[in-house]
């Protein structure tokens, strides 16, 4: 273009960042394994489809109890997380509190579950804590940011002769933030049900446990029954989980599944003082040159064989999935927009499809994908893209409803590219960058399914009782998530994107 440099364009920064993200994803694509290794993926798919069309329940008590467990872990976990998150949010202006929250939410609930299982076994306490801890970190961040965002005028109008910060908080800040807090917490509850179901994949008695068993055995009709139960649970929440009934449900879940575990103190002490200590340091009272040398060698070997390849694969897969998520979101958004689907019923179908795709946990999608396509990065990319793309597409579609278009605006594809896409692009990037950290967390966790991301090495370390290695790798994945979160925050500020999320 012959345009001189004096042109002021607000699009060029957005265009550049999108370009570099797309290029990086393409480069990553060259480096990863995308082969379909199963002999006949269509055969497996048609078996699954046949199962999906003929769901069968082999044991109603099992189905109902795993459904109840899934609900109970989620409700208990989010309740505890909301209380702890609220307390943490009160101190959110302190860097230390913010860092602590970032740390606990950077570790995925499955990793927390694997850690607690070593101490508390496959107990109800393990399930509760695995959800409550990372969710507390997330909720603290959201509550804290909401408190910072509220209109300061009401607080400024209070008498100033004697400050009572906490009273002021309860009289001005909290009432103003309350509605958003409630909305966001209820959205998080839906996520917690997905997390709770997925905890079954590592052995807790939720829907995921039976889903995994049935899917692995090729019992697709039985798997379908558990699958539909999960969809039904999430899809009907708004019908029966009313605010006023919440205390009843809370009492019920704590009565039904009291958080308890038989913790052997001996085991706990051993776990903390020996198991998670790097092997060369165990039983060493004095640190001498030889120990330092041993630790170095231990770390170097780990770095070469596990940390570096795990990190690289996590980043590669995360980057591809992020860009694929973005593309899919842009393709899917018309499904939830009256600008493109004029008829109410058509839009209703489109919206339901997006909600359905969003409801499917990416971990479960990836597991199904692996059964069909065989072990490679492909099922992981598809799973992450579909789940996250549907979430962002749904939000963007709703966002387009607020656009004011001229009476003589064009229609169809031209409308999309000339009017809608440029107007929503900032919002789109803001949503995508919010989702980045989540996608990366999920990427790491998909390793448990056999894709060589950090989760793969973490899972193997747990299986071989090398808890020192497991902990180190979990810390590495936490550090990666925190860095990406910081980088995404930096990009949002640079590009002047909206900084407070709505429901991501």
Partner 1 sequence: MKDVLNQPAPLFQFSDQRLQYQGRTVLDKLSLSIASGERVALIGESGAGKSTLLKALREQHPDQVAWCPQQPGLVPILSTFHNIYMGALDSHSLAYNLLNLIKPLPGARTAVEPIAKQLGLEQQLFSSVDTLSGGQQQRASIGRALIQQRPIFLGDEPVANVDEYQADALLQLICQQHQTVILALHDIEQALSICTRIIGLRDGTIALDAPSDQLQASDLTGLYGAS
d(CA 315, CA 409): 42
Residues within window 120-159 making contact with partner 1, judged by CB under 8 A? none
Q: Give φ, ψ of 264 to 5 degrees.
A: -85, 120
Instruction: Please report how close the Cβ of residue 25 comes to partner 1 at its closest, in angstroms.
Output: 19
Number of chain residues interacting with partner 1 (CB under 8 A)? 25
Q: Give φ, ψ of 317 to 5 degrees.
A: -65, -40
26 vs 301 by CB, closer to partner 1: 26
Q: Which of 461, 356, 375 is nearest to 32 (CA)?
A: 375
Out of 178, 417, 465, 487, the residue judged to bind partner 1 by CB under 8 A: 417
Instruction: Please report how close the Cβ of residue 420 comes to partner 1 at its closest, in angstroms.
Output: 9
Q: Which of 111, 268, 84 is nearest to 198 (CA)?
A: 111
Paired tokens of 463:
């299986």
344 binds partner 1 (CB under 8 A): no
Site string for partner 1, 384-413 (x = CB under 8 A): --------------------xxxxxxx--x
Q: Which long-range contacts (CB under 8 A, 24 or more apart) does 292-296 make?
A: none
Instruction: Please report how close the Cβ of residue 302 comes to partner 1 at its closest, in angstroms.
Output: 47
Instruction: Please report how close the Cβ of residue 412 comes to partner 1 at its closest, in angstroms.
Output: 8
Q: Which stretch binds partner 1 (CB under 8 A): 7-15, 81-89, 303-311, 496-504?
A: 7-15
Q: Do residues 210 and 62 lie in contact, with contact meaning Cβ atoms separated by under 8 Å?
A: yes
- Number of H-type helices and E-type strands within the chain: 23, 0
Q: Which of 107, 129, 106 is nearest to 116 (CA)?
A: 129
308 vs 417 by CB, closer to partner 1: 417
Site string for partner 1, 189-218 (x = CB under 8 A): ------------------------------
Q: How far is CA 113 from CA 50, 153, 264, 496, in A?
A: 34, 44, 17, 37
459 binds partner 1 (CB under 8 A): no
Residues within window 226-245 making contact with partner 1, judged by CB under 8 A? none
14 binds partner 1 (CB under 8 A): yes
239 vs 404 by CB, closer to partner 1: 404
Q: Which residues are CB-neighbours of 71 under 8 A, at least 6 positions away?
A: 193, 196, 233, 253
96 binds partner 1 (CB under 8 A): no
417 vs 487 by CB, closer to partner 1: 417
423 binds partner 1 (CB under 8 A): yes
418 binds partner 1 (CB under 8 A): yes
Burial class for 274, CB neighbours closer than 10 Å (0-12, 13-18, 19+): middle
d(CA 265, CA 271): 10
Indicate the Cα dihedral angle 7, 8, 10, 16, nearest 10°.
Answer: 50
9 binds partner 1 (CB under 8 A): yes
Q: To which residue do tokens 């919002």 refer?
A: 427
Burial class for 278, CB neighbours closer than 10 Å (0-12, 13-18, 19+): middle
Q: Which stretch binds partner 1 (CB under 8 A): 3-11, 66-74, 221-229, 446-454?
A: 3-11
23 vs 34 by CB, closer to partner 1: 23
Residues within window 425-444 making contact with partner 1, judged by CB under 8 A? 425-426
Q: Where does this chain bind partner 1 (CB under 8 A)? A: 1, 3, 6-11, 14, 404-410, 413-414, 417-419, 422-423, 425-426
């Amino acid at each position: 273009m012959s345009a001189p440099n004096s042109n002021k364009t607000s699009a060029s920064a957005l265009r550049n960042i999108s370009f570099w993200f797309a290029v990086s994803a393409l480069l990553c694509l060259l480096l990863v394994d995308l082969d379909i290794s199963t002999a006949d993926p269509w055969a497996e798919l048609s078996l699954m489809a046949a199962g999906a069309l003929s769901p069968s329940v082999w044991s109603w008590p099992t189905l109902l109890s795993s459904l109840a467990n899934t609900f109970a872990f989620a409700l208990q976990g989010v309740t505890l997380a909301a209380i702890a998150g609220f307390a943490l949010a009160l101190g959110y202006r302190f860097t230390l509190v913010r860092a602590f929250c970032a740390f606990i939410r950077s570790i995925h609930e499955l990793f927390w579950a694997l850690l607690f299982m070593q101490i508390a076994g496959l107990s109800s306490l393990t399930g509760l804590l695995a959800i409550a801890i990372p969710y507390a970190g997330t909720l603290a961040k959201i509550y804290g940011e909401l408190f910072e965002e509220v209109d300061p005028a009401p607080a400024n109008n209070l008498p100033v002769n004697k400050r009572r910060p906490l009273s002021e908080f309860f009289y001005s800040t909290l009432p103003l933030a309350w509605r958003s807090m409630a909305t966001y917490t209820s959205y998080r509850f839906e996520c917690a049900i997905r997390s709770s179901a997925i905890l079954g994949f590592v052995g807790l008695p939720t829907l995921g446990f039976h889903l995994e068993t049935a899917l692995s055995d090729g019992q697709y009709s039985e798997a379908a029954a558990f699958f539909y139960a999960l969809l039904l649970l999430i899809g009907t929440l708004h019908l029966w989980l009313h605010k006023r009934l919440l205390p009843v449900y809370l009492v019920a879940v704590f009565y039904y599944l009291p958080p308890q575990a038989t913790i052997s103190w001996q085991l706990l002490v051993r776990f903390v003082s020996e198991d998670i200590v790097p092997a060369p340091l165990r039983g060493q009272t004095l640190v001498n040159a030889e120990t330092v040398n041993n630790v170095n060698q231990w770390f170097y070997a780990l770095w070469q064989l596990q940390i570096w390849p795990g990190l690289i694969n996590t980043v590669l897969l995360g980057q591809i999935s992020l860009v694929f998520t973005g593309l899919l979101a842009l393709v899917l958004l018309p499904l939830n927009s009256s600008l493109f689907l004029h008829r109410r019923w058509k839009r209703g179908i489109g919206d339901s499809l997006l909600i359905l795709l969003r409801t499917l946990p990416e971990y479960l999608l990836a597991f199904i994908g692996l059964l069909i396509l065989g072990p490679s990065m492909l099922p992981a990319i598809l799973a992450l893209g579909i789940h996250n793309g549907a979430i962002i597409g749904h939000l963007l579609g709703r966002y387009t409803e607020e656009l004011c278009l001229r009476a003589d605006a064009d229609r169809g594809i031209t409308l999309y590219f000339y009017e809608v896409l440029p107007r929503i692009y900032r919002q789109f990037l803001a949503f995508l960058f919010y989702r980045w950290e989540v996608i990366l967390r999920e990427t790491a966790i998909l390793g448990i399914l056999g894709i060589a991301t950090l989760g793969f090495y973490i899972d193997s370390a747990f299986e071989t009782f090398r808890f020192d290695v497991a902990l180190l790798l979990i810390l590495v994945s936490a550090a990666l998530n925190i860095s990406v979160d910081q980088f995404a925050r930096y990009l949002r500020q640079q590009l002047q994107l909206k900084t407070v999320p709505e429901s991501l």
